[in-house]
């Protein structure tokens, strides 16, 4: 069993840091402190952090903050960022209007 599999392993207490109110995900305004706190409440993977806090779920889809979030989570878990799988990238590549995405057939209706 590797170190991340046991979700109750001891990673030490959450200790407040002076820059905890720094915004890491600008699209969804998620702070460093919120991310660090979530790790201590059991969210050990990037997808869980993203689903719970919304960081990386805004307009830029994590293109700005993904790496930062990963390094914050890794430091909190005391592991290398390399062992954390990134969150899955999803289609579409950039935001697309509903009516454009809907227009699959030439003679719709």
Partner 1 sequence: MKSADVVVIGAGIIGSASAYYLAKAGYKVIVLEKADVIGDGGSSRNGGGVRQSGRDPRELPLAMYGIENLWPTLSEELGYDVEYCKKGNLRLGKTEKHLKTLQGLTDRAVAVGLDVRMIDGDEVRQINPYLSKEVIGASWCPTDGHANPLKATLAFYMAARRLGVRYYTGETVKCLKKEHGVLRYVETNDEIFAADHVVLAAGYASRAIAGTVDLDIPMVTRLVECLVTEMEPKMFEQMLGTAEADFYGHQTRHGSFVMGGSSGYELYKKDNGTPINSSTTVPCIARGICRYVPLLSDAKIVRAWAGWTDVMSDGVPVIDTVEEVPGLVLACGFSGHGFGIAPAVGAVVKNLVAGEKTVCDISGLKYDRFYAKDVVA
User: E-strand spans in 26-79?
Assistant: 30-31
Out of 13, 92, 106, 107, the residue judged to bind partner 1 by CB under 8 A: 92
The residues in 33-62 that bind partner 1, with binding defined as CB under 8 A, are: 41-45, 47-48, 51-52, 54, 57-59, 61
Cβ atoms < 10 Å from Cβ of 58: 16
> If DSSP codes are grouped into helix, strand and coil, which group holds residue 99?
helix
Shortest separation between residue 18's beta carbon and partner 1, angstroms: 26
Size of the chain in residues: 109
Q: Does 21 bind partner 1 (CB under 8 A)?
A: no
Q: Does 97 bind partner 1 (CB under 8 A)?
A: yes
Q: Does 107 bind partner 1 (CB under 8 A)?
A: no
């Amino acid at each position: 069993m590797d170190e991340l599999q046991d979700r109750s392993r001891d990673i030490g207490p959450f200790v407040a840091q002076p820059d905890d109110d720094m915004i890491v995900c600008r699209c969804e305004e998620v702070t460093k402190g919120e991310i660090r706190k979530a790790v201590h409440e059991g969210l050990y993977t990037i997808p869980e952090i993203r689903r719970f806090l919304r960081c990386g779920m805004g307009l830029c889809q994590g293109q700005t903050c993904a790496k930062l979030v990963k390094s914050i989570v890794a430091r909190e878990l005391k592991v290398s960022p390399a062992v954390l799988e990134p969150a899955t990238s999803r289609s579409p590549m950039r935001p697309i209007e509903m009516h454009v995405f809907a227009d699959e057939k030439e003679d719709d209706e």
